[in-house]
């Protein structure tokens, strides 16, 4: 079962990928993790990646697809994989399809987490966490039971991610629309794109995704 999760930053792709990983015993593949592992291994591929990274350049599509190809040959991918940060462009989507076809396999599901962007901006800009234990909170949706005191550890120190501000979030959303959203028609034309309500409760989003994967919708 080969699955791609698509959606703008903050749509919950990472959370849902972890839940799919546990439910179906197939790994979530992180391109960042793959890059770090390749560099650490010292392989030819890793050395190429290191040169690109050291030069501060973007990783070429063919190199990324080659890393994914190497990764899916590992035993834990025998039953499939989940991608939630790749592909980001139509060119990458085509290259991924071509690589999978060479290996005699294909994508089974491409699932879009559809969101209300104004609500998404509010969701992201309002989140913060305990500086001590990392417990997550939100200005509107999940405040500590006692104001200013972490429910989990009792700390009174909290922090916010620097990039969780409105300007940055809107810039990330624009980048998603400009670069990644155009791949939705590419997968729709293949008949493998399905949409879920990414603004629903986390458990409901999981239910919708699992229904697609299990062929119940």
**Catalytic amino acids?**
13, 88, 127, 161, 172
**Which residues are CB-neighbours of 213 under 8 A, at least 6 positions away?**
1, 3, 20, 24, 108, 109
């Amino acid at each position: 079962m080969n699955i791609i999760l698509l959606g703008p930053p903050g749509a919950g792709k990472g959370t849902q990928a972890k839940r799919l990983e546990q439910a179906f015993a197939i790994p979530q593949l992180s391109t960042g993790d793959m890059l770090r592992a390749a560099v650490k291994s010292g392989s030819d591929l890793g050395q190429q990646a290191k040169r690109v990274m050291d030069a501060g350049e973007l990783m070429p599509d063919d190199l990324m697809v080659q890393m994914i190809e190497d990764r899916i040959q590992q035993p834990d991918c025998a039953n499939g994989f989940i991608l939630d940060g790749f592909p980001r462009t139509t060119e990458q989507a085509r290259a991924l399809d071509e690589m999978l076809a060479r290996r005699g396999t294909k994508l089974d599901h491409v699932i879009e987490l559809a969101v209300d962007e104004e609500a998404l901006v509010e969701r992201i800009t309002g989140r913060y966490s305990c500086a001590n234990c990392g417990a997550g909170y939100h200005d509107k949706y999940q405040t500590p039971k006692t104001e200013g005191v972490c429910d989990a550890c009792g700390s009174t120190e909290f922090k916010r991610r620097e990039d969780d501000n409105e300007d940055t979030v809107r810039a990330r959303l624009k980048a998603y629309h400009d670069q990644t959203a155009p791949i939705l028609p590419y997968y729709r034309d293949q008949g493998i794109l399905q949409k879920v309500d990414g603004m629903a409760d986390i458990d409901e989003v999981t239910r919708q995704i699992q229904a697609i994967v299990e062929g119940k919708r």
